[in-house]
Amino acid sequence: MDEILSSGHAEPVPTECPPDGKIWYLPHFAVYHPKKKKLRVAFDASVKYQDKCLNDELLSGPDHVNCLPGILLRFRKEPIAFSGDIQKMFLNFKVNTEERDYLRFLWVDRDLETIKEYRMTVHLFGATSSGVATFALRKLASEASEKHPAAANFIIKDFYVDDGIRSVKSPEEAINLIRDTTNICKAANLRLHKFISNSREVLEAIPESEKTANLQGLHLYKDTLPSERTLGLGWCTEKDAFIFTSNPIDKPATKRGILSSVSQIYDLLGFLAPFLLQGRIVMQQACQESKGWDNEVSPTLQSKWKQWRDNLNNLNQIHIPRCLKPTEFGDVKRAEIHYFSDASFDGYGACAYSRIINNEGNIHVTLIAAKSKVVPLKGLTIPRLELQSSVEATRLKSFIGEELDMDIDQECFWSDSKAALGFIKNNDTPFQFFTANRVSEIRRHSNPKQWHHVPGSENPADSVTWSFSKSTYEKHMV
């Protein structure tokens, strides 16, 4: 709180009353982050008094926040990657003087006896109107787009609020991009710092004070580069791979405990789709038992839950290459994306793989993203579930096509269900509503000629429908 006051982010309330006589007091509390070992002051604009809260009265404005999975997807395009963070972004944008009385709060003086009134002078994280910070950042980038087009594009497309990540072709390009983006931010008194990269050459060009804490004091050419969390996803910069860490779960075998445990696994691109599906199946079965949220589930379900929970330790063994192409692969001559879909009575889903070919004819195949869903309680036949999984494949295609920003020479769809393929390619028979709606969506995003049959034993999407066990996990996931 001393830092907030000394930096001018808050000021004493003036003696004169506001012209309209309207004020609002914000509750605040301390939030401690054990991993970062930081204490933050959080102001809550959603607390209600007499059925009103500050957020109810604030305008949100247009949504300028980029799609988070899309940013992560583009982060996989090129071999050289880096990330950075804008220091205290929301606290860098002032609130009009006449509106600050809606941001009042109480604080005790150092004698612990005198209560004083203060008001914030800057925008708050968590307030509905705080989106103005993102708007201002994008406006700043737009104004600099003629002088620094690449840096402006980076800020507009690949920043998620105050965090920016980008992958480029060479260390030189990364160094120039970091320099230009830093200069754009400096023009508005914004500090872009906490940089990390998988390239030692890039890190060498960044001042020590602007690197992430784990890099400061590190010998770049002797020590191992650290792992960091990038937009919530673990990134091992030494191996340039996405990693997953699992903390021991000490939750009771109740609906509340199971939901909490499954929800804590962060996986926006579906790398853990087969594993997460099994946890969601257990949750669905727990809901079917018609017990309270804090009552233990049946012994049979407890056994399934324990098996899933014990397999959390295996997540530490998974390393997903960050880049879609290997190091020294060279220029891509041809790029293809292959979508696979599959279903069972437990779950259905789809996955997408890139297949790239360089000038020497070398081929590299990498998982791009995947999706898995639990079969709804309302029973569906396998042909209908297979058709629904094909819909998921086309939705995955729409997402990748919109966000990846990459030239693709060919897209193919694969299913091991001849029934689903028959629905998709049939132009003569009228369908019932369920089938007709899904076939219509599939055809909107793909051409029936793009769909092909793959044997079930060779279908990678089959993994999202397996009954989970440690042996199948080690065979197909690790």
Q: Which of 177-191, 286-300, 369-383, 451-465 has the highest mean pLDDT?
A: 177-191
Q: What is the mean pLDDT of residues 281-287?
A: 92
What is the DSSP-derived secondary structure letter of residue 315? G
Query: Do 54 and 169 fall into the same domain?
Result: yes
Query: Do 306 and 173 fall into the same domain?
Result: no
Residue 327 has pLDDT above 70, yes or no: yes
Considering only CA atoms, give the Rg of the chain: 26
Q: How confident is the model at residue 320 (pLDDT cuts 50, 70, 90)?
A: very high
Residue 309 has pLDDT above 90, yes or no: no
Q: Which two tokens stand for residue 370?
A: 């995947």
Tokens 């000490």 — which residue?
250
Nearest to 230 by CA among 166, 150, 298, 171: 166
Residue 478 has pLDDT above 70, yes or no: no
Residue predicted with more confidence, 22 or 193: 193
Distance between CA 29 and CA 434 in Å, rounded? 51
Residue predicted with more confidence, 309 or 386: 386
pLDDT tens digits for 224-235?
A: 999 998 998 999
Domain-ending residue, one of 263, 284, 317: 317
- Whether 325 is in a domain gets the answer no
Residue 447 has pLDDT above 80, yes or no: yes
Query: Do 56 and 99 fall into the same domain?
Result: yes
Q: What is the mean pLDDT of residues 312-322?
A: 89
Distance between CA 235 and CA 197 in Å, rounded? 10
How many domains does the structure of the chain reveal?
3
Query: Do 193 and 59 fall into the same domain?
Result: yes
Q: How confident is the model at residue 466 (pLDDT cuts 50, 70, 90)?
A: low
Residue predicted with more confidence, 291 or 147: 147
Q: How confident is the model at residue 15 (pLDDT cuts 50, 70, 90)?
A: confident
- Give the residue ranges of DSSP H helices in 225-272: 255-263
Task: State the residue range of the domain holding 262.
Answer: 255-317
Distance between CA 288 and CA 378 in Å, rounded? 12
Residue 36 has pLDDT above 80, yes or no: no
Outline where DSSP puts E strands in 136-252: 159-160, 163-168, 192-197, 227-230, 233-236, 241-243
Query: Do 283 and 336 fall into the same domain?
Result: no
Distance between CA 175 and CA 173 in Å, rounded? 6
What's the farthest any 2 CA atoms get from each other in the chain? 84
Query: Do 40 and 79 fall into the same domain?
Result: yes
Tell me the C-alpha to C-alpha distance, in Å, between residue 333 and each of 74, 118, 171, 355.
19, 62, 22, 11
Which pLDDT score, from 0 to 100, does residue 114 have?
85
Query: Do 300 and 335 fall into the same domain?
Result: no
Residue 157 has pLDDT above 90, yes or no: yes
Q: How confident is the model at residue 471 (pLDDT cuts 50, 70, 90)?
A: very low
Mapped onto helix, strand or coil, the DSSP state of residue 131 is helix
Taking all residues of the chain, what is their mean pLDDT, rounded to a whole number? 90
What is the DSSP-derived secondary structure letter of residue 456? G
Query: Do 131 and 205 fall into the same domain?
Result: yes
Q: How confident is the model at residue 247 (pLDDT cuts 50, 70, 90)?
A: confident
pLDDT tens digits for 370-410?
A: 999 999 988 789 999 999 999 999 999 999 999 998 999 99
Query: Can you give the CATH number for the domain in which 379 is found?
Result: 3.30.420.10
Domain-ending residue, one of 317, 342, 366: 317
Which pLDDT score, from 0 to 100, does residue 217 have?
87
- Whether 229 is in a domain gets the answer yes
Which pLDDT score, from 0 to 100, does residue 472 have?
45
Query: Do 75 and 124 fall into the same domain?
Result: yes
Query: Do 217 and 273 fall into the same domain?
Result: no
- Whether 388 is in a domain gets the answer yes
Nearest to 174 by CA among 247, 83, 249: 83
- Whether 60 is in a domain gets the answer yes
Instruction: Return the percentage of the chain with pLDDT > 90, whole number.
Output: 70
Q: Are 408 and 398 in contact (CB under 8 A)?
A: no
Which pLDDT score, from 0 to 100, does residue 476 have?
41
Query: Do 277 and 360 fall into the same domain?
Result: no
- Whether 248 is in a domain gets the answer no
Burial of 112 (0-12, 13-18, 19+ CB in 10 A): exposed
Q: How confident is the model at residue 8 (pLDDT cuts 50, 70, 90)?
A: very high
Residue 27 has pLDDT above 90, yes or no: yes
- Whether 128 is in a domain gets the answer yes
- Whether 8 is in a domain gets the answer yes
Entry pTM: 0.89
Print burial letters for 75-86: b (CB count within 10 Å at least 16), e (below 16): bbbbbbbbbbbb
Which pLDDT score, from 0 to 100, does residue 113 have?
80
Query: Do 204 and 300 fall into the same domain?
Result: no
What is the 3-state composition of the chain as percent helix, strand, coil, each rounded to the nearest 5?
40, 25, 35
Distance between CA 12 and CA 18 in Å, rounded? 14
Domain-ending residue, one of 184, 204, 236: 236
Q: Which residues pair with 195 in a beta bridge?
A: 211
- Annotate 60-129 with DSSP letters as a single string: -----PPPHHHHHHHTTSSSEEEEEEETTSGGGSBPPGGGGGGGEEEEE-TTSS-EEEEEESB--TT-GG
Which pLDDT score, from 0 to 100, does residue 35 have?
72
Which pLDDT score, from 0 to 100, does residue 13 have?
93
- Whether 242 is in a domain gets the answer no
Mapped onto helix, strand or coil, the DSSP state of residue 272 is coil
pLDDT tens digits for 103-117?
A: 999 998 777 788 999
